[in-house]
Structure 1
Amino acid sequence: MKQTGVAILGAGRWGKHLVRNFLAHPDACLVAVVDPYPETLAAIKDKYNLAPEVRLATDWESIRDLPTIEAVVIATPAVTHYTIIKDALNQGKHVLAEKPLTLDVAECLELCHLAQENQRQLMVDHTYLFHPAVKRAQEVVHSGCLGDLRYGYAARTNLGPVRQDVDSLWDLAIHDIAIFNHCLGQLPVQVQANGRVWLQFQKEFQVSQLPVEKEFQVSQLPVESSEDNQGCSQSLTPQQPANLPYGNAKGEQPANLQPANLQPSTPQPSTPQGLADLVQLTLSYPTGFQAFIHLCWLNPDKQRRLGIVGTQGTLIFDEMVAQAPLTIQHGYFEQNGSTLSLLVNIVKFLISNHLNHFIQYAIAFLTVSACPNLHQYLLVWVGAQLVQILSCLSQSLHQGGVPVTVPQLPK
């Protein structure tokens, strides 16, 4: 089978994972790696012993015309996605983009139509949709063994990293929303969001006009690298020109942001005039099912937990239990006076590395016209739908938590 020539744009934390996995796949041929930092490229070359014919470049324009590039993998800040994806599609390349697709619904739709018109594949790497635990959870929900679904819940918290370009809603929520949508086979019809701001007051977040991504660390607190910031280009440093088409996280703290400014203070009211550090979401689905999501990047109790509760059972997806993250509790409640007892049969599922599954599907999608069983979620419309939902949640957040109807996307 002919190998597909791949260029990877962005070589930060997530980009390194992509380089390693594409190098190891027999159906892919790594043609080029692009990153604005020469030292990052040198480290990538040494770490993975890249062949001399693999091009290392600091800008996309210098390699975009290489005839051996058939697919482009974009692991750069979301604010850069629209321009790069549009150019790559117009160059006749297939595209795999880090989530979110873009930060503007209209741009998402334009790219969807452009990919269709050019007959190119465009995929967003919502990796949780390829997680074996999520696939099994979807099967359990659809089998009906949980009974009538009552509600869902999720918590995604950690102590940093704190972003300067987007709030915790845009940084963290997309994973759990994608999982609920996938398991239920539905999209929310109404959403609500409330939040609190402690660190960054009066910073306006405009979805369609975002600055280049930056992040900073909470002063005097150990900050753990977040798996939610999968884009390898988490930030551009203050010294780096803002018009670069991509960048990666260097961890520098902006010079104009002193530690004293980062100490938690009195929270703002539920209409945040700044970047919300804590957000509580409610998603309402057509069947009446509701999901409640708690997000915070100022909580040292790291949580990656999602549950769906039914009348005859509950499933729990907990990433902090690495070897067996999925638990199914089959049973029913037995009432004895005012006490409820759960008669339950607990089943735990051992799960393999989900990133390997994702890479397998990604390469299949970029090398063939369709990928059986997952095509509806591989297609870029899922990425556009999630951006639409996040935009509606952002509207609710900045209007004090009012319910916002989620319109259907035009096809």
Structure 2
Amino acid sequence: MTIKIAVLGAGRWGIHLVRNFLENPQAHLVAVVDPNPERLEALRSRSVRAAQSRYQFDESIVLATDWAQVRELPGLDAVAIVTPATTHYTLIADALQQGYHVLAEKPLTLYPAECLELCHLAEQHQRQLVVDHTYLFHPAVIGGQTVIQKGILGDLRYGYATRTHLGPVRPDVDALWDLAIHDIAIFNTWLGETPIKVQATGNVWLQSGLADLVWVTLTYPSGFQAYIHLCWLNPDKQRRLGVVGSQGTLIFDELSTKSPLSIQHGSLDQSGNRFTPVNQSHEVVNIEPGEPLKQVCQHFLDCVSNNTTSKVSSGWVGAHLVQILRAITESLEQGGVPVTVPDPLRF
């Protein structure tokens, strides 16, 4: 089954979706929508480039500056929405009502009530709503989940993550909404649970009302706590997350030149009031190669082909992550007071 798909948004991330759908034989890219005519012209005038490949842009692909121009294209099956978060609700709702399956960039929307409505709308129209939480398809995240499930780290104690860089700075959401969702999704997946309480503080320098620096604390039902540092105004680019256990630390370092996933083994041996490090070693965790976004696109196409709900990144998963982010925002706006996270909308 070949799925006819339109991509809404040809910016920094959207262009990668265009490339992946052009490459996938199960997909037939029929339209690209972007309000910027120059981006569209760039698509038409040259091929879409990947690291080692070029994908020729077919002349039959419709290029449009507005969704209204393509929303009734004959035979259209699905849309990928890669537009500012503030536009998601309206576009996703309209696409579902038109009978299209939807792959949406994270976050699903900015408000839990809107997410809930979209999930119900997808069910009502028997269409699939999948959220592009790319890290859930990353080989290192999948491999890390296996390590934790095997109990290699011993008793889990706490987690930490740092996600910093110097731009891009988004005008529609703050650093929390742009960056934290990745690490929260990874922690939730690795731990097999979701936070019940959150706290956050931050600083604003560049844009009024949009935090550039955010510190987050997540507390899980098991008592495990994770600490997240987020900033898009820091030249020291980091993409690092760790889970510390009694027998070692699992580290996902996306920028590592050696391997993104490793275990730093070690523990403390107590003799009286003295503690001595023992069993120290470093282990690289072998993972399967592959582009996570390619896996996202394939997963979406499979969900559409079989008309089955995603078990990895459904609209419901995206909705609960929005619930968590909204609770963190509430804490941030109140100067760091603890905020209880509502029960998941549904899983």
TM-score by length of 1: 0.78
How many angstroms apart in 2 are the aligned matches of 1:163 and 1:410? 28
How many angstroms apart in 2 are the aligned matches of 1:129 and 1:322? 21
Equivalence map 1:104-115=2 (5 Å): 104-115=111-122
Q: In 1, are the aligned partners of 2:7 and 2:31 still within 8 Å (CA)?
A: yes
Q: Which residue of 2 aligns with 1:259?
A: none
Give 1:192 shift.
0.4
Q: Which residue of 1 aligns with 2:308?
A: 370
Amino acid corresponding to residue 344 of structure 1 in structure 2: Q
Equivalence map 1:353-364=2 (5 Å): 353-364=291-302
Question: Root-mean-square deviation (CA), in Å?
Answer: 1.7
Q: In 2, are the aligned partners of 1:323 and 1:350 still within 8 Å (CA)?
A: no
Give 1:392 shift.
0.3
Give 1:134 shift.
0.2
Residues 355/340 of structure 1: CA separation in 2 closer, same or farther (3 Å cut): farther
Structure with greater contact order relative to length (CA < 8 Å, sep ≥ 6):
1
Give 1:297 shift.
1.6
Q: In 2, are the aligned partners of 1:6 and 1:30 still within 8 Å (CA)?
A: yes
Of 333, 336, 339, which residue of structure 2 is paired with 1:398?
Answer: 333
Of 174, 177, 184, which residue of structure 1 is paired with 2:181?
Answer: 174
Amino acid corresponding to residue 71 of structure 1 in structure 2: A
Q: Which residue of 1 aligns with 2:139?
A: 132
Counterpart check, 1:314 vs 2:249: yes
How many angstroms apart in 1 are the aligned matches of 2:59 and 2:140? 39
Q: In 2, are the aligned partners of 1:131 and 1:358 still within 8 Å (CA)?
A: no
Q: Which residue of 2 aligns with 1:102?
A: 109
TM-score by length of 2: 0.92
Equivalence map 1:63-102=2 (5 Å): 63-102=70-109
Q: In 1, are the aligned partners of 2:268 and 2:275 still within 8 Å (CA)?
A: no
Residues 4/328 of structure 1: CA separation in 2 closer, same or farther (3 Å cut): same
Residues 34/164 of structure 1: CA separation in 2 closer, same or farther (3 Å cut): closer
Q: Secondary structure at the match of 1:92?
A: coil
Q: In 1, are the aligned partners of 2:80 and 2:104 still within 8 Å (CA)?
A: yes
Amino acid corresponding to residue 284 of structure 2 in structure 1: K
Counterpart check, 1:281 vs 2:280: no
Give 1:29 shift.
0.6
Q: Secondary structure at the match of 2:88?
A: helix
How many angstroms apart in 1 are the aligned matches of 2:13 and 2:169? 17
Give 1:287 shift.
0.4
How many angstroms apart in 2 are the aligned matches of 1:10 and 1:165? 15
Q: Secondary structure at the match of 2:13?
A: helix
Q: In 1, are the aligned partners of 2:175 and 2:211 still within 8 Å (CA)?
A: yes
Give 1:402 shift.
0.6
Q: Which residue of 2 aligns with 1:36?
A: 35
User: 329-338 vs 146-155, which deviates more?
Assistant: 329-338
Equivalence map 1:138-177=2 (5 Å): 138-177=145-184
How many angstroms apart in 2 are the aligned matches of 1:191 and 1:19? 36
Give 1:338 shift.
4.3
Amino acid corresponding to residue 47 of structure 1 in structure 2: R
> Is the strand fraction higher in 1 or 2?
2
Equivalent pairs, count:
335
How many angstroms apart in 2 are the aligned matches of 1:296 and 1:378? 25
Q: Secondary structure at the match of 2:334?
A: coil
Q: Percent identity?
A: 60
Q: Which residue of 1 aligns with 2:50?
A: none
Q: In 2, are the aligned partners of 1:31 and 1:68 still within 8 Å (CA)?
A: no
Give 1:323 shift.
5.1
Give 1:365 shift.
2.0
CA displacement 1:345-394 (0-9 Å, x = unmatched): 422135523232222222212322237xxx33221111100110000000
Give 1:335 shift.
4.5
Q: Which residue of 2 aligns with 1:249?
A: none
Q: Which residue of 2 aligns with 1:380?
A: 315
Q: Which residue of 2 aligns with 1:251?
A: none
Counterpart check, 1:45 vs 2:44: yes
Give 1:54 shift.
1.2
CA displacement 1:317-360 (0-9 Å, x = unmatched): 00111551000233432347645324234221355232322222
How many angstroms apart in 1 are the aligned matches of 2:264 and 2:15? 37
Residues 323/393 of structure 1: CA separation in 2 closer, same or farther (3 Å cut): same
Give the gaps of 5 or more residues in structure 2.
48-55
Residues 370/344 of structure 1: CA separation in 2 closer, same or farther (3 Å cut): farther
Residues 287/198 of structure 1: CA separation in 2 closer, same or farther (3 Å cut): same
How many angstroms apart in 1 are the aligned matches of 2:41 and 2:274? 66
- After TM superposition, the runs of 4+ consecutive aligned structure 1 residues lying more than 4 A away are 335-339
How many angstroms apart in 2 are the aligned matches of 1:408 and 1:59? 37
Q: Secondary structure at the match of 2:71?
A: coil
CA displacement 1:207-255 (0-9 Å, x = unmatched): xxxxxxxxxxxxxxxxxxxxxxxxxxxxxxxxxxxxxxxxxxxxxxxxx
How many angstroms apart in 1 are the aligned matches of 2:278 and 2:179? 32
How many angstroms apart in 2 are the aligned matches of 1:338 and 1:198? 46
Residues 5/322 of structure 1: CA separation in 2 closer, same or farther (3 Å cut): farther
CA displacement 1:249-291 (0-9 Å, x = unmatched): xxxxxxxxxxxxxxxxxxxxxxxxx322211110000000000
How many angstroms apart in 2 are the aligned matches of 1:164 and 1:177? 22
CA displacement 1:169-224 (0-9 Å, x = unmatched): 11211110110011111110000001122333xx3xxxxxxxxxxxxxxxxxxxxx
Q: In 2, are the aligned partners of 1:334 and 1:343 still within 8 Å (CA)?
A: no
Q: In 1, are the aligned partners of 2:319 and 2:345 still within 8 Å (CA)?
A: no
